[in-house]
């Protein structure tokens, strides 16, 4: 039930923040994963980061929207490894109280995204 690349919001570090938000809207997910050209995860940016940014950084919209997304991203997010079990991943999301876990291999490459809803659906046999 891991979301495969292409089926969740992903962008490069220097994308305009506004375009990153549009990718989130298009996929109806509250997270965008930011990867370097070589595939390595550079950070994540979530709906909660938008809220915290708005209250901290009161630049006018046009200026904020044309910042590189990486400027406002969480650079060292919690991740899981492709070999970790579903239950391990859910426990990590519960301990950290987060909704998403980028799946990252031993080379730092982004392999996919584990979102809590499909994970819980799988756990409950609702998938």
Name the site residues for its own copies (rule: CB under 8 A). Answer: 18, 21-22, 24-25, 30, 46-48, 50-52, 54-55, 58, 60-61, 90-91, 94-95, 97, 99, 116-117, 120-121, 124, 126
From the CB of 96, what's the least distance to its own copies, in Å? Answer: 9
The beta strand positions in 3-95, using DSSP E, are 10-11, 31-35, 41-46
Eight-class DSSP state of 91: H
Eight-class DSSP state of 24: H
Of residues 28 and 38, the one with the C-beta less far from its own copies: 28
From the CB of 87, what's the least distance to its own copies, in Å? Answer: 8
From the CB of 40, what's the least distance to its own copies, in Å? Answer: 26
Contact status, residue 77 vs residue 44, Cβ threshold 8 Å = yes
Eight-class DSSP state of 4: P
d(CA 82, CA 1): 12
Of residues 109 and 120, the one with the C-beta less far from its own copies: 120
Give me the residue label for tokens 């904020």. 64
Of residues 98 and 109, the one with the C-beta less far from its own copies: 98
């Amino acid at each position: 039930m891991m979301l495969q690349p292409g089926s969740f919001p992903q962008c490069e570090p220097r994308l305009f923040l506004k375009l990153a938000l549009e990718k989130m809207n298009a996929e109806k997910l509250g997270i965008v994963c930011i990867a370097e050209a070589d595939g390595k995860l550079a950070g994540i940016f979530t709906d909660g980061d938008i809220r915290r940014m708005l209250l901290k950084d009161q630049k006018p919209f046009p200026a904020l929207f044309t910042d590189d997304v990486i400027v406002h991203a969480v650079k060292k997010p919690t991740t899981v490894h492709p070999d970790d079990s579903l239950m391990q991943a859910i426990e990590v999301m519960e301990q950290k109280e987060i909704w998403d876990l980028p799946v990252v291999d031993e080379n730092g490459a982004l392999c996919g995204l584990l979102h809590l809803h499909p994970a819980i659906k799988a756990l409950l046999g609702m998938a």
